[in-house]
Structure 1
Amino acid sequence: MSAENIETPCIGVCTMDDNTGFCLGCYRSLEEIQNWWDMSDEQRAQVMAQLDQRMQDNVQF
């Protein structure tokens, strides 16, 4: 399986949250964004598995 099988979660809203260190669009860290194209599918899947929780943790009412 090639690393191209899991697409980037980027939605083009590239703004880093100073409090969390995550992008407000895709909820990845700067390191995860920079390394995305070099990651294996397994590494990408690990990042993807964390994104929903990061988004929920960041929601402010």
Structure 2
Amino acid sequence: MKSKQKIKSPCVNMCNLDENDVCLGCYRSAKEITIWGRSSHDEKREIMAKVREREKNSPFYSE
């Protein structure tokens, strides 16, 4: 069985929460930022899926 690759934090050191408590730098909620360090691999994958969705819906997103 292959070991799970570490999931890197999406933090870009531009912390600025919007009115919904979502960081405009990494697109994580304040709660997700707080629990990141003690989250399991699967929980981090779930957070990253939400991050991708939020980023796509952001007015700053471009492909």
**Which residue pairs with 1:58 in the alignment?**
58
Alpha-carbon distance between aligned partners in 1 of 2:22 and 2:56, rounded to the nearest angstrom:
13
**Which residue pairs with 1:34 in the alignment?**
34
| Matched AA of 2:15 | C
**Which residue pairs with 1:16 in the alignment?**
17
Per-residue Cα deviation, 1:15-53 (whole angstroms, up to 9, x for no partner): 0011x3210000000010011000000000000011121
Higher alpha-carbon Rg: 2
Instruction: Give the TM-score taking structure 2 as reference length.
Output: 0.80
Aligned residue pair count: 58
Alpha-carbon distance between aligned partners in 2 of 1:52 and 1:33, rounded to the nearest angstrom:
15
Instruction: Give the TM-score taking structure 1 as reference length.
Output: 0.82
Structure 1 unmatched ranges of 5 or more: none
Identity level (%): 33
Give the number of the structure with larger relative contact order, counting CA–CA contacts within 8 Å between residues 6 or more apart: 1
Q: Which runs of 4+ in 1 moved over 3 A?
A: none
Please provide the CA RMSD for this pair. 1.8
| Matched AA of 2:25 | G
